[in-house]
Amino acid sequence: DTGVSQDPRHKITKRGQNVTFRCDPISEHNRLYWYRQTLGQGPEFLTYFQNEAQLEKSRLLSDRFSAERPKGSFSTLEIQRTEQGDSAMYLCASSLAPGGVVPSYEQYFGPGTRLTVT
Partner 1 sequence: AQKITQTQPGMFVQEKEAVTLDCTYDTSDPSYGLFWYKQPSSGEMIFLIYQGSYDQQNATEGRYSLNFQKARKSANLVISASQLGDSAMYFCAMSRNTGNQFYFGTGTSLTVIP
Q: Report the residue number, 40 or 70, with the smaller CB distance to partner 1.
A: 40
Peptide bond preceding 8 in cis form (omega within 30 of 0): yes
Q: Does residue 93 touch partner 1 according to CB under 8 A? A: yes
- Which span sits near partner 1 by CB under 8 A: 13-21, 22-30, 59-67, 92-100? 92-100
In the complex, the smallest distance separating the C-beta of residue 81 from partner 1, rounded to whole angstroms, is: 26
Q: Are strands 10-13 and 113-117 parallel, antiparallel or unpaired?
A: parallel
Which of 64, 67, 43, 72 is closest to 56 using CA atoms? 67
Which of 43, 39, 40, 26 is closest to 104 using CA atoms? 26
Q: Which residues bind partner 1 (CB under 8 A)?
A: 31, 33, 40-45, 48, 50, 55-56, 89, 91, 93, 95, 97-98, 104-112, 114
